[in-house]
């Protein structure tokens, strides 16, 4: 599949639109076979069954799956054999391990997987069965993730049940995607700003071309295609929704749901999305490494799929933190024996919730807070780190989007994309909120028509230009 797509990659920008649609559809045909063929229906049924389990049943399943995965890793992945043996851990020590004992194993650093992803590939799997995917690499070199088609089908089956199913729709229905693939050549490209994947009944929109000038073309294409489910970047959908509402452009159909990921989905964003698209937006949290999946239920809470991966939240010393306390996310994947990731530090900060969810899924823990990458912090002059950038703009309806750039410990530059109603009181409130949170810092606000995106079209809410010192406290 990847080989097919790579053949088109170099010539793709020079093809006419109809040929680009054909190339994407050819890629989509291979992608559909890889994800939805084989045992996919069975995997869906198994996730649906576990959706109704008790907490005790899920604990038993997690522990047996964990032992199988770590024994497999010890026997077949040289990296883990060496790391664990050097820590004094032997095979017999792994025979009775449960989720409560995971802290005996060293944390796997993302830098190690980034530097040598093949060192984590298990012995005995023919290279022809392995598929490779890259993370977006927005803060550095991408991580290469490796899996078999069977594992990929399990990943998608989990999303079909927990992401799309809980939202009342399906990944197999007519859908739109607003994401970071460069389906439309960059630069001053003329419309259309989408391409059609006929093989998957999907329309793929560019996240790179959303602007007041281009928004009508997005609206027209959506109204012609009328997807049943809308997927992709949360912030790009929000920006598109704001522009649609500001220009009075109507979406003339009602999708079943929006299933959005890659960026935090706030209550304000959900409100704007509902106004524009006449459907509820559901948040999905995960990673390309596929060792964690958290999805939104009908009660609006993010549940961790315990049969997808085991989640730990730890402090800087690697010790577990109690629910309600922000910490580093460490995950152990249960579905990918080809490249096992054991106690893998994803690079995000989260907090678990101590309260049970009204939806009744007590066997699936709840994420209370997801505040993003470890790099997305502001550092106060006294050394405190703040991970609350999304809260600084809460209730500011005249701010379309904003980005915080920390140039010095005592200097924060705020780039604001304003609405027509934006005025000095909005700037004053932003400055006051930042100073309330960080202390006596200089705040410079500059307005702009658009904010920069990463190579994959993602939005970064915080950019730090300073070297981080050892933190003492993290606030959310």
Q: Could you give the strand order of the β-sheet that contains 399-408, starting from the edge strand earlier in sequence? A: 442-447, 411-418, 399-408, 462-464
What pLDDT is stored for residue 476 in this prediction? 44
At residue 62 the predicted structure's pLDDT band, cuts being 50, 70 and 90, is very high
Average pLDDT, the chain: 88
Tally of CA atoms within 13 A in the half-sphere of 288 that contains its CB: 17
In this structure, are residues 403 and 417 in contact, taking their beta carbons and an 8 Å threshold? no
Domains and CATH numbers, the chain: 2-373 (3.40.50.12780), 378-475 (3.30.300)
Is the per-residue pLDDT at 468 higher than 50?
Answer: no
Is the per-residue pLDDT at 387 higher than 80?
Answer: no
Q: What is the pLDDT of residues 165-224, one digit of tens each?
A: 999 999 999 999 998 888 888 767 889 999 999 999 999 999 888 888 999 999 999 999
Is the per-residue pLDDT at 1 higher than 70?
Answer: no
What pLDDT is stored for residue 470 in this prediction? 38
Residue range 334-356: mean pLDDT, rounded: 94
What pLDDT is stored for residue 424 in this prediction? 93
What pLDDT is stored for residue 469 in this prediction? 42
Q: What is the pLDDT of residues 151-170, one digit of tens each?
A: 999 999 999 999 999 999 99
Residue range 53-74: mean pLDDT, rounded: 97
Residue range 254-267: mean pLDDT, rounded: 92
């Amino acid at each position: 599949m990847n080989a097919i797509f790579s053949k088109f990659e170099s010539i793709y920008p020079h093809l006419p639109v109809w040929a680009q649609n054909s190339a994407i559809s050819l890629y989509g045909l291979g992608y559909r076979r890889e994800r939805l063929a084989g045992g996919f229906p069975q995997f869906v049924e198994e996730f649906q069954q576990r959706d109704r389990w008790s907490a005790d049943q899920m604990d038993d399943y997690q522990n047996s799956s964990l032992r199988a995965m770590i024994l497999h890793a010890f026997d077949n992945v040289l990296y883990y054999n060496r790391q664990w043996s050097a820590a004094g851990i032997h095979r017999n020590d792994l025979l009775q391990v449960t989720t409560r004992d995971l802290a005996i194993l060293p944390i796997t650093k993302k830098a190690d997987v980034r530097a040598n992803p093949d060192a984590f590939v298990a012995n005995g799997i023919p290279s022809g069965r392995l598929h490779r995917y890259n993370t977006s690499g927005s803060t550095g070199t991408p991580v290469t993730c490796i899996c078999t088609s069977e594992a990929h089908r399990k990943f998608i089956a989990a999303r079909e049940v927990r992401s799309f199913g809980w939202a009342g729709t399906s990944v197999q229905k007519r859908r739109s995607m607003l994401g970071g693939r460069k389906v439309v050549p960059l630069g001053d490209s003329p419309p259309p700003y989408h391409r059609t994947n006929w093989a998957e009944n999907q329309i793929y929109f560019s996240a790179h071309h959303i602007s007041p000038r281009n928004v009508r073309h997005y609206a027209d294409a959506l109204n012609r295609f009328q997807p049943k489910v809308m997927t992709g970047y949360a912030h790009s959908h929000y920006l598109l929704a704001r522009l649609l509402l500001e220009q009075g452009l109507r979406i003339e159909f009602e999708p079943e749901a929006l299933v959005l990921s890659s960026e935090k989905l706030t209550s304000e964003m959900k409100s704007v999305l509902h106004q524009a698209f006449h459907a509820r937006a559901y948040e999905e949290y995960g990673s390309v490494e596929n060792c964690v999946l958290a999805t939104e239920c009908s009660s609006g809470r993010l549940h961790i799929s315990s049969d997808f991966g085991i989640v730990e939240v730890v402090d800087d010393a690697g010790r577990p933190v109690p629910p309600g306390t922000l910490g580093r996310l460490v995950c152990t994947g249960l579905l990918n024996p080809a490249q096992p990731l054991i106690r893998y530090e994803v690079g995000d900060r989260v907090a678990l919730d101590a309260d049970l969810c009204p939806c009744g899924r007590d066997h699936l823990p709840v994420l209370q807070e997801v505040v993003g990458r470890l790099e997305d912090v502001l550092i106060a002059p006294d050394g405190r780190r703040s991970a609350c950038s999304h809260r600084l703009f809460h209730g500011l309806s005249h701010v379309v989007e904003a980005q915080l750039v920390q140039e010095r410990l005592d200097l924060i530059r705020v780039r604001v994309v304003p609405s027509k109603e934006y005025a000095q009181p909005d700037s004053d409130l932003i400055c006051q909120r930042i100073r309330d949170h960080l202390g006596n810092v200089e705040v410079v606000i500059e307005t702009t028509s658009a904010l920069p995106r990463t190579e994959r079209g993602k939005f970064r809410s915080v950019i730090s230009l300073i070297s981080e010192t050892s933190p003492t406290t993290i606030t959310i």
